[in-house]
Every structure is written in structure tokens, then in C-alpha cells.
Structure 1
Amino acid sequence: MSQPEPPREPGETEAPGTLDQHGQQEMIQRIGRGIVHSLPPGWQEVRVRYRAVGSYRELAAELIAPNGTGIPVAMTSEVSELFAELRHGMYQPQRGTWISATYRLSRPASYSVDFNGDHRPDWEQEPPHTEFAAELSQYPRATHNIPGWLAERAGLSAPRAATSPDQLHRADVFDGTDAVGRPVTNRQALTPEERDRVLEYLERAPVVLAARGYDSDRLDPYGKAAVPMTFHTDGSWIWPGAVGYYLRTHELAPQPELVEHIREHEFQLPYVDDEARELAVSVITAEQHR
């Protein structure tokens, strides 16, 4: 059960980002009490999802049956107001604030809250474009902290590093081959945490070219056909889908220059406009026809 709620400016008398850690925990507990007061007797587990951008808000809650089935349940308006205050208070300069939150409660006193500030929420109803621009006005972010989907919906045209084919960097899957054609690499492995963040960056970047089917895995003893035949770009670099595949499947890190580029962007994918995608396609197709 979910519906957009009337616009309201949270914390009208306070600047955004005024909640410290103690204040945030206190607000989270108040939300929990508000959720419990909205529930019918005998409940065991509930999941509440809150999504917001600009002044647009959605609230959806469901009881979780023992078999995992979700049963919609209504929340009081107080719960939505408290979520709005928490979102307002958790703003961080240059980083913005979260866009969606999932609050889970289980009897007798177990709870967890997950916040999402970067990924596109699964909206019940797509908010108006104006709300995305309002989000960045009310909760400003540094350019490199604006996810591509948010920049696009807000009507931004982020600058890109490459403006001509010779400025685009191309990533190689391997460092070379040995005398019998086997791939050779000499790269430092990524830590588990950094591996996941680099992998997310690689795989979330726009696909600008794709072929049907799969290429052979050159590190698999049987050479199974599992490697995606795609190309991605972030506007500065181009890389085959194989780069992400070998990192995910064989822990093979991308070439160090690409990893350093991703680190410099703090693992945040920039907005890639149509011109950047077209430039990447022209470079890839030119190389394929050589």
C-alpha cells in the first residue's frame, strides 16, 4: 500500500543536517514506536519503505507472514512526518541525503534500517521532473556525488572529460598473452569492499554497444561461453563487459589506471549524456573495423 503524500517541507525551522548520531538514533526509535502503534494485534514482522525526492513522498508498509508473504498495512501520517524529519536531519554537505529507507521490525524488539542515497528507488509512481531538481536545490551535492539517474531526471548535463576520440581511455581485459596465447596479467588484487564498489561502477555504467550471445571465458579450463559481449563508458573510459565479468568471476582486477580513475570519482558513476555515448560508440566501431 503506497501513495504520494501532500508536499511538506520537513524541519522548516531547522537547517538540513542538524541531527547528530544521538539525534538520529532517537528519531529512528520514534519512527519504530510510530510503526508499532499503527499495527494490528498479533503482528510478528513488518517492513516499511519510505521514498522521497524534493517534496514528493511515498510510504508503503506490509506485514510479513510466516511464509514470507507481504500483507499491506496502513501507517499513520505521523510515521511519514518522522521519516521526512530524519531525512532532512541526516543531510551531509556535498553528499546530500538519502532517497529511500527500509525499516524492518520483528517481535519482540529486533529492528534494522537501511538507507539508500545513490540508487534509483522503485517508485510506486514516478515523481515529476521538477522534484528531482528541487532535491538538488534543497539538498545540494558535489557533482561527482550526483548519480547519473538523478542528474538525468533533474535535467543536468554534467561535463565529461573526453570531447574527442583521442581523449577516451580504453581498458584492456588482460595485460597481454604468452607464447601460446594464454592471457597474462600482473595486477594487485582489490580488497573485498573495494572489489564490490568497483564492480558496481563497472556494471552500472551505460552499455553503448552489445552483441548477442557470450564470448568464451579464457580463464575457465573448459572455455565456457559466459563473458558478455558488451561495451560500457563513463564518458572518460571505455571498457568491455569482460572487465567486470573477470573481476566478478575470477577476482581479476581491472588495469590499475582504470581502478585509480574510479577511486578518484569516489566510486560514484557520473552522468553520461548522449554525446558521450555516441563518442564512445564511434571509437569502438572504428577500432573494430581496423
Structure 2
Amino acid sequence: MSQPRGPLRPEQQHELVRQIGAVLTGQVPPGWRQLRVEYRAAGRHIEADLLVTAPDGLPRTLPPHPEAVRLLGVLRAGMYQPGLGTWLGAVLVFDPGGPADADFGRPDLEPPFRHQPPPIGFQDELRFFPRADEQIPGWLRERAGLPTPAPAPQPLLGPDEKVRTPRVHDGLDASGRPLIRRPPLVPAEIERVLAYLEAAPVILASRSNGADVFAPERTDAVPMNFRTDGAWAWPGAVGYYLREHGVPPDPDLVAHIRARRFAAPSEVSAEATVLALAAITGERQ
């Protein structure tokens, strides 16, 4: 693999995204509601998942067409910035008749690989897409076998920031059943998100469990506890509904977990605990 000749212009990037959508559209049956492709790469290690929302509204996974995978690689190489590198993970969402929604991860973020690439993959990444030393994040240094500096401490919330709490669902329908209107997680992310949700410290807990709103016959199933990572505080229901019913967490919380590279803290400060409890109970600080 050779280094790209030069960066793609925005219009060239948009054209490649359009071509990727055209290739994927051609491989699925008519009537699809949404196509979501996730691409992850490190050097020559490449992973790609395609999630197709069928006419019945149910998501199904397919291997994306090889040409779409090739074009994604061309797009990644063409978005390389000298000294900064390029993204290692991207998600493209296509809706019928609408513009594509493309989310390219920052070059410092590690994507949720299904299988951890070998060190040579990350070494090749730095060889194919060279970075200035200060632009190599700690996780990439470690994966490539480079000396890893001491991690920087997590910054505290700013004076005007508050601990956030997620929406467990998106409202109720006319019959009182919960509504879910949010993008599904790709299969490779589910266990990593669950691990994060269930690893953060518990700051409030009840001895009993609550009822399952998606399966009312389960009257003693949902954990009645709250966890926090210092920036978000969430009820045990978030992880429970993801594991039991495939309900994706609040998209903002998912974005936060991705930004943290799926690494939850094992403990938080007393100050962060107080702020999280205030967010849960609605008390002013």
C-alpha cells in the first residue's frame, strides 16, 4: 500500500460516499429502509459490517460488497492529513432518497474492532499514514509496541457543566408502550458498550429490582441502581434493556462511550459522585 498522492477535495469525498451508497444499494433487495456500513482499519487489517433495515423494519447484517469496501479504503487514504494521520473507523448511513450521513472518527480514536489487529497492523498504519510524534495517541503507541507516555488525567467537569443522564426510551405510544427512535448499535459494539455500562462504579442501589417495561410479565427483572463515569450517570435499566431487548442507549451516551474508547473508570472522585447523585435526584448543588 502506498501513501496517498494528496488529499481529496470535499466534492471528491462526497462523490466517493455517493459511489459507496450506489454499490451497497445494488446488493440489497428493493424496499430497504436504511443501510448502515461501519468500516474499521489499521494498516492492512480491515473490517466492515453492513446493517440493512429491511421493509419489515428489522435490521439484518450482510457482508458489504467488496467494491464498497475498496472505495472506503480509497476514501480513508484520501482523507489523510500529513502529520495528523487519518481516521481508523467510520460509519456511513444511507436512507432512500436522502443524503448520506457520514461519521468519520477522529484520527486519535480507536474504533471498536471485532478482532484486535496484530501489532504489525498498527505499525503499518503509522508507516502508511505517518504522524508527528505528538499526534500518536497513547493507545496507538501501545498497540504498535512504541514507548507509551503516562496517560493524562481525566479533566474534571467545567464550572458550568453538569453530569448528564440518558433517556432510557423515546416516549410512549398510544397504548403506553415505550418507543425507540434511535439508530441501532453495530454488532461489534454491543458487548463493548455493555461492558462500559456495567463496569462504572455504582453510586446508588436498591435491594429490589423493577419491572421490565418491554415485558411487563417480568416484574422483578430490571436492576434498580445507578452508575457514573463522572460525566454521565445512568440507571441499570440502560444496560439491561440493551442486553435483553437490544435497545440502544441514548445516542449521546453512546457517542460519549466511543469517545472514551470504551474504557470505563473503576472509580470516580467524591466530588464527581456528589454531582452525579445531584443529577439523579434533581437536587441543586
Task: Compute the TM-score of the two structures, normalised by the length of structure 1.
Answer: 0.53
2:75 corresponds, among 65, 73, 86, to 86
1:144 corresponds, among 118, 134, 149, to 134
1:108 Cα deviation from its structure 2 partner: 2.1
**Equivalent residue for 1:21?**
10
Deviations 1:25-76 (A, max 9, x none): 1211111112112222221211111111101111111212467632122322
Q: How does 1:28-177 map to 2 (within 5 A)?
A: 28-65=17-54, 69-117=58-106, 118-160=108-150
AA of the residue aligned to 2:136: I
Mapped contact 2:91–2:103 kept (Cα < 8 A): yes
AA of the residue aligned to 1:114: D
Mapped contact 1:227–1:241 kept (Cα < 8 A): no
Deviations 1:240-282 (A, max 9, x none): 534655677779xxxxxxxxxxxxxxxxxxxxxxxxxxxxxxx
Q: How many residues align?
A: 188
Secondary structure in structure 2 of the residue aligned to 1:119: coil
Mapped contact 2:43–2:123 kept (Cα < 8 A): yes
More strand by share: 1
1:124 Cα deviation from its structure 2 partner: 2.1
Secondary structure in structure 2 of the residue aligned to 1:22: helix
Q: Which has the larger radius of gyration?
A: 1
Cα distance in 2 for partners of 1:91, 1:37 equals 28
Q: CA RMSD in A?
A: 4.0
Deviations 1:68-119 (A, max 9, x none): 6321223221101100000000011222100111111111224201111333
**Equivalent residue for 1:287?**
none
AA of the residue aligned to 2:75: L
Cα distance in 1 for partners of 2:95, 2:69 equals 20
Mapped contact 1:39–1:73 kept (Cα < 8 A): no
AA of the residue aligned to 2:132: A
**Equivalent residue for 1:241?**
269
Cα distance in 1 for partners of 2:62, 2:10 equals 30
User: Judging changes above 3 Å, is the alpha-carbon distance between structure 1 residues 188 and 84 closer, same or farther for their aligned structure 2 residues?
Assistant: same
Bigger relative CO (Cα 8 Å, ≥ 6 apart): 1
Secondary structure in structure 1 of the residue aligned to 2:8: coil
User: Judging changes above 3 Å, is the alpha-carbon distance between structure 1 residues 36 and 226 closer, same or farther for their aligned structure 2 residues?
Assistant: closer
Cα distance in 2 for partners of 1:50, 1:152 equals 22
Q: How does 1:266-285 map to 2 (within 5 A)?
A: none
User: Judging changes above 3 Å, is the alpha-carbon distance between structure 1 residues 249 and 55 closer, same or farther for their aligned structure 2 residues?
Assistant: farther
Cα distance in 2 for partners of 1:226, 1:84 equals 39
Secondary structure in structure 2 of the residue aligned to 1:158: coil
**Equivalent residue for 1:258?**
none
Cα distance in 2 for partners of 1:107, 1:43 equals 8
Query: Where does the alignment leave 5 or more consecutive residues of structure 2 unmatched?
Result: 163-198, 205-225, 231-266, 280-285
1:188 Cα deviation from its structure 2 partner: 5.3
Cα distance in 1 for partners of 2:50, 2:114 equals 12
Deviations 1:198-249 (A, max 9, x none): xxxxxxxxxxxx997649xxxxxxxxx97779xxxxxxxxx95346556777
Cα distance in 2 for partners of 1:62, 1:122 equals 16
User: Judging changes above 3 Å, is the alpha-carbon distance between structure 1 residues 250 and 189 closer, same or farther for their aligned structure 2 residues?
Assistant: farther
Percent of paired sites with the same residue: 33
Mapped contact 2:31–2:55 kept (Cα < 8 A): no
AA of the residue aligned to 2:269: G
Cα distance in 2 for partners of 1:134, 1:26 equals 27
